[in-house]
Structure 1
Amino acid sequence: MSADAIPEKEVNVEAENRAASLEEKHHNKGDILHGEVLKSDDLMNEAFHGEDAEHEMTLWQAAKDHPMACIWAFIFCFTIVMESFDMFLNGNFVALSYFQKRYGVKTGDTYSIPTRWQSALFQAGQCGAFVGVFLAGPVTNRLGYRWTAIVALVMMNATIFISFFADSLAVLTIGQAFEGVPWGFFIANSPAYASEVVPLALRGACTATLQMSWSIGGIIVAAATYGFNNRQDVWAWRAPLALQWIFPLPLMVLIFFAPESPWWLMRRGRKEEALRSVERLGRKTKQNSQEKLAMIERTIEIEAQQGGTPTLLDLFRGTDLRRTIITCLIYASQNFAGNLIANQATYFFEQAGMSTDFAFKLNLINSCLQFVANGLSWPLSGYFGRRTIYLWGTGTNIVFLMILGICASIPQSTSTNYAQACLGIIISFVFAGTQGPISYTIIAETSSVRLRALSTAVGRAAYYVAEIPMIYLNSQLLNTTGWNVAGKCGYVWGSTALVCWVTAYFFLPELKHRSYREIDILFNRKVPARKFKSTVIDIKDNE
């Protein structure tokens, strides 16, 4: 019998059977499609309205309606100031004249800290933080963001004593390693908390405040070390170290009164507390809060049907593997685009031919300009895509880094010295306004809600895995007891930044204006990175 002779009724029955078979396959794979994941149609409609409201909200309207969410996000992000404080402090220690005389070796008419100890001071805290980020995920899943931050602040208060009373480079290095453990908690939790408490329109600006906290730490360090750099006793570095005790206690008090993330509370089944948290975070009516909560519940239910209790192994399974790789690469790339020049700015300026006192002045100017750049990143993140900002920022710095290398390669004079110093400041400014802050936004948005605490922790671990050898390389490049290439390091960091740019061009997706449900769907559908922006997601899709 020919195909044309098959009765229409039989054809329809066969088509229905194929459709039923496909639907069963989707169900077995955990794809929910347009199914109802909440208890009632009313809850689903509230979830739809809640997500639509997030999409329709402008940057200004979101800030006006959610002032407390912005404040609490900034307070959590401000914990990063302690990591940046210590990072920049170590970079300034090696440039302090009395510190060099006390612990350095004589090279000609000057003293210099040996490269191995310079690297150890920079790397010790990162090694401790590497441990901290892996502890942060499980502890946060158990205790929540608030209590995890408070525990880390208590640890920070205690470990500062080791560095403060250190009387040798070995003890100072050990102190930095212990201080690094709470750093890991801060850096793993802050972007995750900030991204969960603010509405969609504010995610970019609020997570970008992490970079601003880095700059604030740098400004305080630059001002303190500039004020003490002429002292010829141990207080030249102990006084700046003691300033770290300013932060933990006030932050502990503030965070104790902070609302817990409603996403974390919903994952723990504490719906009433989650609703109170939503109400505390925004100036919204009861109906608005219920809709926001329904949206959160819907996303969490979809993810719960795709996996149970989150574990580290889940990060490397299925579509979450792609998300983990993106998170790790973006975090690690911060070490390959010239940022390490900013971390050792004072020493870089000395190597560029500036006097010690002028180098400390330039470092203070550099830190203040980074703060300005961080402020400029807020409107940038509101109007331009994450991918756009990352690619243009990295591309710009590639050009400046290569110019820096050229300036250091031609015959040297006072003009070339100033040119290298200015280029170092420009590179830091561009990084602080583009790649630095937008990286935290990308990291916070890329991971699934269920695995966010673990994902940000593993991503930061990748950052430290990349940073530790790069710190050693940067010390070798700049140190007079190492390779002493000074500004020629621009060739090295320009080349590594180019690799980051090419990788991001092909693999970094655009997540701006996407809800967490939509991001989950885009990754589950395995949409290519360059098509994320143009792909349309239906409000009823529950994949």
Structure 2
Amino acid sequence: MSTGSFDAKTEVETKGEEAHHGDVLHDEVLKNSDLLTEAFEGENQEHEQGVWEGVKAHPWACFWAFIMCFTIVMESFDMFLNTNFVAIAEFQKQFGVQTGPDSWTIPTRWQSALFQSGQCGAFIGVFLAGPITNRIGYRWTTILALILMNATIFISFFAKSLTVLVIGQAFEGVPWGLFIANSPAYASEVVPLSLRGACTATLQMSWSIGSIVVAGATYGYNSRLDEWAWRTPLALQWIFPTPLLVLVFLAPESPWWLIRHGRKEQALKSIVRLGTTAEDAPKKLAMMERTVEIEAQLGGSPNLLDLLKGSDLRRTIITCLVYASQNFAGNLIANQATYFFEQAGISSDMAFKLNLINSCLQFVANGLSWVLTAWFGRRTIYLYGTTVNICLLFILGICASVPQTHGTNYAQACLGVIISFVFAGTMGPISYTIISETSSVRLRALSTAVGRAAYYVAEIPMIYLSSRMLNTTGWNLAGKCGYVWGGTACVCWVMAYFFLPELKHRSYRESDILFNRKISARKFKSTVIDVQDNE
């Protein structure tokens, strides 16, 4: 970097320390030719870097992105744990109602309460995440959530009634909301352009890891004839927060967040910590500063109302629809897999074994999703994945509609596993990538939070509907629920076809320009954006 460029950058940083307050930025980067040239070079380097080259150059960025995404394992653990509780014989006997000489079940209203309470708490958490993150950053918000998580587990662990257990789950949900709002945003901001898809997709892998631990624990303790059949799996939640708290404390803050708050010197150090060489770090800093400044000229300090203004309204709608659609394409079958298998006519012991197999296969599918994101676009993966699951869901419904035999029972169980596998390899992980790329940098913390809130708004009634469809004291549809989820998945496909843009290989600056120009979703991929455009 030239001496003149270094002096200019030093001057910008010095003025920034004096003049910056919150998100108020100045526009030297758009006026200084040396800084602008560096911004061009930084963006071109990102476009030229391949996936494997990016992994070799930025292993620490991948590591920190994975650590932040791994916080989602706690929401996954608890979500799957609750759905497994209703299938544990001792839990049914202690908290359920007797339905036969030697059989008990948890009433539908309590099943729904157990499944929904955590999501209600998370709904509150995601709305807290945006303002808190904008103020103290991704690291400290996550640290705060991990401390809160450690504390709230006590309520559930010592619960003596379903009422207290439901309350405990609601309190645990608050830090979940903070985790899920921040993880995709942080992961997308610390890794280079070529790795955004794979690293944000690890969020779905964290869900799978949580479900594997739960499946193994509940299978191992299902045969116990005392309260530890369900209390021990609850205690296992404590194995995650403290180690993660230490690692997150050591993690670098997102350089995008630091730049947006005028802390350029710290942002430069963060960029170097994430794997960029000392020689190229100023170029990446200039690239980020350019994008942040372009967005800052569109508005001041971010607030929730900004999500409903101009091109950001379109981005908010896409984020909300993609997040909410996760509940309408068969995902709830995966979330209640053990109970679904039992309702499909599989024995309790075999249902827990199948659930463990299902969770492991989801983990494999998550790994395959990294390959898919490297080769195919976000829009392509979403549309084709949804198409496959629509077909499988309707086949599931047909299987459950014919006269039932041992063979049709296993066919329904196998279809449930395949539907979960497809979701875990396509729609699930790619949704997180789409969400993290669609929002503007300025509003990312708020946008991911509101998007997740839309997910909970859709999920909470769908959980009740799903429980009602599967429960023997409800509609007892078993595999016929495939007709319902197949129909809702069709609606998701139609909306995605018309409204979901392709943002693969697009820098955040290019995404801003495409949305500001109101380009049709189907033309995002073919539209050419010049590296010098600042609009």
Specify the TM-score bucket, using the shorter chain as the normaliser.
over 0.9
Q: What SS does the aligned partner of 2:279 have?
A: helix
Match of 2:107 among 75, 95, 114: 114
CA contact (8 A) 1:157 1:245 kept: yes
Name the residue aligned to 1:5: none
Match of 1:211 in 2: 204
8 A contact 2:29–2:289 mirrored in 1: no
Q: Could you list the per-position Cα deviations for residues 254-283 of structure 1 after superposition, in whole angstroms to 9, with x for gaps in the alignment? A: 01110000000001100000000000001x
- What SS does the aligned partner of 2:476 have? coil
In the TM superposition, what whole-angstrom CA distance separates every residue of 1:192-238 from its partner, at most 9, and x where no partner exists? Answer: 00000000000000000000000000000000000000111110111
1:261 aligned onto 2:254: yes
Alpha-carbon contact 1:58-1:201 (below 8 Å) kept: yes
Q: Is the 8 A contact 1:341 1:348 kept in 2?
A: yes
The answer for the alignment partner of 2:355 in structure 1 is: 363
Correspondence 1:347-358 to 2 at 5 A: 347-358=339-350
Instruction: Map residues 293-304 of structure 1 onto 2, 5 A cutoff.
Output: 293-304=285-296
Q: How many residues align?
A: 508
Quick check: 1:204–1:381 contact (8 Å CA) kept in 2? yes
Letter in 2 for 1:274: A
Stretches (4+) displaced over 3 A:
none
CA distance in 2: counterparts of 1:151 and 1:458, whole angstroms: 20
Match of 2:265 in 1: 272
Deviations along 1:468-496, one digit per CA (max 9) or x if unpaired, are: 00000000000001000100000000000
List alignment gaps of at least 5 residues for structure 1. 1-34
Alignment partner for residue 41 of structure 1, among 28, 33, 53? 33
SS of 2:280 mapped into structure 1: helix
Match of 2:12 in 1: none
Once residues 457 and 189 of structure 1 are traced to their aligned partners in structure 2, the CA distance between those partners, rounded to angstroms, is: 8
Structure 1 residue 285, shift from structure 2 partner: 2.8
Query: How far apart are the structure 2 equivalents of 1:285 and 1:500?
Result: 43
Residue of structure 1 aligned with 2:190, choices 184, 192, 197:
197
Give CA-to-partner distance per residue, 1:303-339, whole Å, 9 cap, x none: 0111100000000011100000000000000000000
The CA distance in 2 between the partners of 1:121 and 1:407, in whole Å, is 30
Corresponding position of 2:433 = 441
Residue 336 of structure 1 aligns to a residue in which SS? coil
> Quick one: distance in 2 between partners of 1:382 and 1:42?
33
Aligned partner (choices 63, 73, 80) of residue 81 of structure 1: 73
Name which of 300, 306, 312 aligns with 1:314: 306
Q: Secondary structure at the match of 2:530?
A: coil
RMSD: 0.8
- Helix, strand or coil for the counterpart of 1:286? coil
1:243 aligns with 2:228: no
Please state whether the residue corresponding to 2:410 is helix, strand or coil.
Answer: helix
Structure 2 Cα separation of the partners of residues 438 and 218 of structure 1: 19
- Is 1:62–1:199's contact at 8 Å kept on the other side of the alignment? yes
Deviation at 1:36, TM superposition (A): 7.8
CA distance in 2, matches of 1:100, 1:210: 32
State the distance in 2 between where 1:448 and 1:271 align.
19
Q: Quote the residue 1:10 is aligned against.
A: none
Q: Show CA shifts across 1:379-425 (max 9, x none).
A: 10011000000000011000000000000000000000000000000
Instruction: Give the secondary-structure state (helix, strand or coil) at the position aligned to 1:107.
Output: strand
| Correspondence 1:171 to 2:164 | yes
| SS of corresponding position for 1:106 | strand
2: distance between equivalents of 1:81 and 1:460? 16
**What is the Cα deviation at residue 49 of structure 1?**
0.2
Q: Aligned match of 1:124 in 108, 113, 117? A: 117
1:486 to 467, 478, 483: 478
1:73–1:194 CA contact under 8 A, matched in 2: yes
**Pairing 1:138-537 to 2, within 5 Å after superposition:** 138-282=131-275, 284-537=276-529
- The answer to whether the Cα contact below 8 Å between 1:37 and 1:302 also exists between their aligned partners in 2 is no
Aligned to 1:4: none
CA contact under 8 A between 2:29 and 2:35: conserved in structure 1?
no
Larger Rg: 1
Residue 17 of structure 2: aligned partner:
none
Instruction: Report the counterpart of residue 14 of structure 1 in structure 2.
Output: none
Give, in whole Å, the separation in 2 of the partners of 1:37 and 1:216.
43
Tell me how far apart the structure 2 counterparts of residues 285 and 497 of structure 1 sit (CA, whole Å).
45
Q: What is the CA-CA distance between 1:287 and the residue it aligns to? A: 2.3
Q: CA deviation at 1:286?
A: 1.9
Contact 1:518–1:537 (CA under 8 A) maintained in structure 2: yes
Aligned residues: percent identity? 79
Deviations 1:331-363 (A, max 9, x none): 000000000001010000000111111100000
Q: Is the 8 A contact 1:390 1:434 kept in 2?
A: yes
Name the residue aligned to 2:24: none
Q: Give SS of 1:363's match.
A: helix
Query: Following the alignment from structure 2 to structure 1, what is the Cα–Cα distance between the partners of residues 63 and 150?
Result: 23
How far the C-alpha of 1:37 sits from its partner, in A, is 4.7
In structure 2, C-alpha distance between the alignment counterparts of 1:498 and 1:341, rounded to whole Å: 16
Q: Take 2:473 and 2:91, find their aligned partners in 1: how far apart are those partners?
A: 16
3-state DSSP class of the match of 2:459? helix
Deviations 1:37-64 (A, max 9, x none): 5341000000000000000000000011
101-110 or 222-231: bigger deviation: 101-110
Q: Is 1:81–1:217's contact at 8 Å kept on the other side of the alignment?
A: yes
- How far residue 103 of structure 1 moved from its aligned partner, in angstroms, is 1.0
2:29–2:286: 8 Å Cα contact kept in structure 1?
Answer: no
Write the distance in 2 (CA, Å) between the matches of 1:509 and 1:364.
36
Give the stretch that moved more between structures: 435-444 or 109-118: 109-118
Q: Distance between the aligned counterparts of 1:95 and 1:425, measured in 2?
A: 17
Work out the CA distance in 1 between the residues paired with 2:238 and 2:466. 29
Question: What residue identity is the alignment partner of 2:134?
Answer: N
Is the aligned partner of 1:60 residue 2:52? Answer: yes
* Counterpart contact for 1:196–1:263, Cα < 8 Å: yes
**Alignment-mate amino acid for residue 343 of structure 1:** N
Distance 1:413 1:252 in 2: 50
Report the residue type matching 2:193 in the other structure: L
Q: Match of 1:468, as an amino acid?
A: I
Separation in 1, partners of 2:296, 2:97: 59
What is the aligned partner in structure 2 of residue 98 from structure 1? Answer: 90
Q: Name the aligned partner's letter for residue 322 of structure 1.
A: R
Shift of 1:105: 1.1
Paired with 2:454 and 2:396, the residues of 1 have a C-alpha distance of 28
> Is the CA contact (8 Å cut-off) linking 1:36 and 1:44 kept in structure 2?
no
- 8 Å Cα contact 1:81-1:213 kept in structure 2: yes
CA separation in 2, counterparts of 1:249 and 1:37? 41
Contact 2:400/2:479 (8 A) holds in 1: yes
